[in-house]
C-alpha cells in the first residue's frame, strides 16, 4: 500500500465521520450549528486528504478557500473550482464562538450537501480500489 493513499484515506475516513454526524443532526432537528461545523470539517478533511494524496504538506488552516486553491494549483478539477466554499469556511469557527449565530435547518442542509459534493469530487480522484464510501442515507 502506498503511504500517501493510506494518509489520504485516513483524512477521508474522518470526513466520512463528520458527514455522518452532520446528517444525523440535520435529520433529527439539530443542533444545526453543530451540523454546520461538522459539514465544514468534512470539507476541510476531504481537501487535506487530497493534498496528502499528492504528497503535499497539510497546512494548519480551517480556510476552505485557501485549501481549495492549493488543491486546484495541483490538479485542475473543474467541479471543485466551480464550488463557492466561502460561507462554509465560517462554520469552522463562527458557529463555535459567535454567540448570536444560529443557522437554521436549511443552512445546515446546504452545508451538508456541499460537504457530500466535495467528498465525492475528492474520492473520485483516488484509485477505485482505495475509495472510501459514504454510508447510505437512513
From CA 85, how far away is CA 80, in angstroms rounded? 10
pLDDT tens profile 83-119: 999 989 999 988 888 999 899 999 999 999 999 999 9
pLDDT tens profile 7-22: 888 999 999 999 999 9
On whether the CB atoms of residues 105 and 33 are closer than 8 A, the answer is no
Domains of the chain: 3-128 (1.20.120.330)
pLDDT tens profile 29-80: 999 999 999 999 999 999 999 999 999 999 999 999 999 999 999 999 999 9
Please state the three-class secondary structure of 1-41 as a single string: CCHHHHHHHHHHHHHHHHHHHHHHHHHHCCCHHHHHHHHHH
Gap between the terminal Cα atoms of the chain:
32
Could you tell me the CA-to-CA distances from 4 to 25, 64, 89, 125, 130 in Å, in that order? 32, 21, 26, 13, 11
Amino acid at each position: 500500500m502506498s503511504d500517501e493513499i493510506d494518509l489520504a484515506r485516513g483524512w477521508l475516513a474522518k470526513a466520512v465521520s463528520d458527514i455522518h454526524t452532520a446528517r444525523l443532526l440535520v435529520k433529527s432537528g439539530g443542533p444545526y450549528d453543530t451540523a454546520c461545523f461538522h459539514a465544514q470539517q468534512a470539507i476541510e478533511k476531504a481537501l487535506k486528504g487530497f493534498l496528502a494524496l499528492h504528497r503535499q504538506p497539510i497546512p494548519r488552516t480551517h480556510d476552505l478557500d485557501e485549501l481549495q486553491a492549493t488543491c486546484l494549483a495541483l490538479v485542475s478539477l473543474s467541479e471543485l473550482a466551480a464550488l463557492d466554499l466561502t460561507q462554509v469556511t465560517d462554520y469552522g469557527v463562527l458557529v463555535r464562538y459567535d454567540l448570536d449565530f444560529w443557522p437554521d435547518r436549511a443552512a445546515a442542509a446546504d452545508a451538508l450537501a456541499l460537504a457530500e459534493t466535495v467528498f465525492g469530487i475528492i474520492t473520485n480522484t483516488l484509485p477505485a480500489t482505495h475509495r472510501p464510501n459514504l454510508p447510505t442515507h437512513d
